[in-house]
Structure 1
Amino acid sequence: MSENSVSIAPSGQVAPSGKVVLVTGASSGIGEATVRRLQALGCTVYAAARRVERMSDLAELDRVHVVGMDVTDPESNRAGVERILAEAGRIDVLVNNAGYGSYGAVEDVPLAEARAQFEVNLFGAADLIRRVLPQMRARRSGRIVNISSMGGRLHSPLGGWYHATKFAVEGLSDCLRLELEPFGIQVVVIEPGAIKTEWGGIAADNLLATSGSGPYAGQAKAMAKTLRGERIGSGFGSGPGVVAEAIAHAVQSEKPRTRYAIGRGAKPLIMLRRVLPDRAFDSLMRRANRLPAPPAVATADGGA
């Protein structure tokens, strides 16, 4: 039997021969593609999401178990993790994929919405990490895979709260990597670029609802076109399978990279952000998204 194969004990529990993986946000997009890829590799996968009805196809796959889970609800997380440990005996890998992007001017976005985005993108992931770590530490083995974004390394117009959550995921992951290394637990960050999922359309709709009128309307309408892929064509983005493949590598590799920048635009944009001065990158973002030009700055003698 290969190291990635999994056998099912007569009781219905998973025999301890293969990786047991928990994937959140598994009802669509990157999460669903990841479940399918890891299942094909022989892992036993617990596919978790709020919308259980959207995972009916996944539930029909061998070694895939659907779990109703709201990552913002600690009780839901506790029940989900306890169920997996009772059935499988362990969790080898946690893939924190649940998340969403809520765009809008910082002035316009209610703080309740800003906090809600942090609850999903950061605190929900952190709660699950805390719940799976004790059994990983006891076995001195495990892997945490946090799905960030190229947006955790750079910024775009009207994405202040979204980028703030992803920058926070990056910082949390870096600290975790250091503190968990003595226990044999590895931490990996996945940084997708432009990916063809429903994410962009939902983010664009939320942006226009939040800042589509008022002082930020011009920026909002321009950015909505970018989020929908209208600037460079809807075919520009990579498919979610590209990200799932990177996650599979992070799960399988004996020594995975600390970061995987994957998908269209991720590596070049992250590189540009690294080398360009702040205002130069601001100008690049402004031109790429066709934002209204900033007003001319008056000189000391009153000229422009």
Structure 2
Amino acid sequence: MDSKPVVLITGCSQGGIGHALARAFAASDCRVVATGRSKTTMADLEQDPRFFVQELDVLSEQSVQNVLSNVLEKFGKIDVLVNNAGVQCVGPLAEVPLSAMEQTFNTNVFGPMRLVQAVVPHMAYRKKGKIVNVGSVTVAAPGPWAGTYTASKAALHSLTDTLRLAILFIFAPHQFMP
């Protein structure tokens, strides 16, 4: 098995944070699995042999399972998961349609958790892995038109803290003993 770390990144559309992260990890000699809802938004990465480009809809359990199967078949491991995919939702809370709020939470909260739940068994079996959930500074200073987006990122921050504590408790329970 290749010793280079395998990094799976969601939300790698050109011009975004995920795309820049994919390039940075590749420059650091990692095997990068760049994902997005459409390969056309990652066409430049697909032309570069340093990237394994996959279509991934974080809202679909089947899509997540397909990508994980493809990655494990090709590389045999996932060392790092970067949950970067996300959507904005702008407008006053009293007027934002509930369907838009649901879509934001489905993408920004349940999407990352879908990936976490899919990859953790593999990482736990190997006793190795890192998960990065991309949050937002808006959680610390919410604006009047970003309530839904901010709330979704606050939920992701909370879930991430809980996951960190759960893993710490599993691997270092003595830190929780009196």
Above 0.5 in TM-score? yes
Measured after TM superposition, the shift of residue 181 of structure 1 is 2.4
Please name the residue that 1:284 is paired with.
none
Measured after TM superposition, the shift of residue 154 of structure 1 is 2.2
Please name the residue that 1:25 is paired with.
11
Aligned positions of 1:8-157 closer than 5 A? 15-28=1-14, 29-157=16-144
Please name the residue that 1:200 is paired with.
none
Measured after TM superposition, the shift of residue 86 of structure 1 is 1.1
Please name the residue that 2:176 is paired with.
none
Is the contact between residue 94 and residue 145 of structure 1 (CA under 8 Å) also seen in structure 2?
A: yes
Q: Deviation string for 1:151-191 (max 9, x for gaps)?
A: 1222111211111001001100100001112566xxxxxxx
Measured after TM superposition, the shift of residue 99 of structure 1 is 0.3
Q: Which runs of 5+ in 2 are unaligned?
A: 172-178
Secondary structure, in 3 states, of the residue corresponding to 1:144?
Answer: strand
Is the contact between residue 140 and residue 183 of structure 1 (CA under 8 Å) also seen in structure 2?
A: no
Measured after TM superposition, the shift of residue 63 of structure 1 is 2.5
Please name the residue that 1:166 is paired with.
153
Secondary structure, in 3 states, of the residue corresponding to 1:32?
Answer: helix
Q: Which runs of 4+ in 1 moved over 6 A?
A: none
Q: Letter of the 2:82 partner, please give it.
A: V
Is the contact between residue 152 and residue 169 of structure 1 (CA under 8 Å) also seen in structure 2?
A: no
Q: Which fold has the larger relative contact order, with Cα–Cα distance below 8 Å and residues 6 or more apart in sequence?
A: 2
Measured after TM superposition, the shift of residue 49 of structure 1 is 0.3
TM-score normalized by structure 1?
0.54
Structure 1 residues 58, 150: closer, same or farther in 2, change over 3 A? Answer: same
Please name the residue that 1:207 is paired with.
none
- Rounded to whole Å, the distance in 2 between the matches of 1:88 and 1:33 is 22
- Rounded to whole Å, the distance in 1 between the matches of 2:168 and 2:43 is 37
TM-score normalized by structure 2?
0.92
Please name the residue that 1:232 is paired with.
none
Structure showing greater Rg: 1
Superposed CA RMSD in Å reads: 1.2
- Rounded to whole Å, the distance in 2 between the matches of 1:25 and 1:166 is 15
Q: Deviation string for 1:2-24 (max 9, x for gaps)?
A: xxxxxxxxxxxxx3301101000
Q: Letter of the 1:16 partner, please give it.
A: D
Q: Letter of the 2:6 partner, please give it.
A: V
Q: Deviation string for 1:244-299 (max 9, x for gaps)?
A: xxxxxxxxxxxxxxxxxxxxxxxxxxxxxxxxxxxxxxxxxxxxxxxxxxxxxxxx
Higher relative helix content: 2
Structure 1 residues 182, 88: closer, same or farther in 2, change over 3 A? Answer: farther
Secondary structure, in 3 states, of the residue corresponding to 2:29?
Answer: coil
- Rounded to whole Å, the distance in 2 between the matches of 1:42 and 1:60 is 17
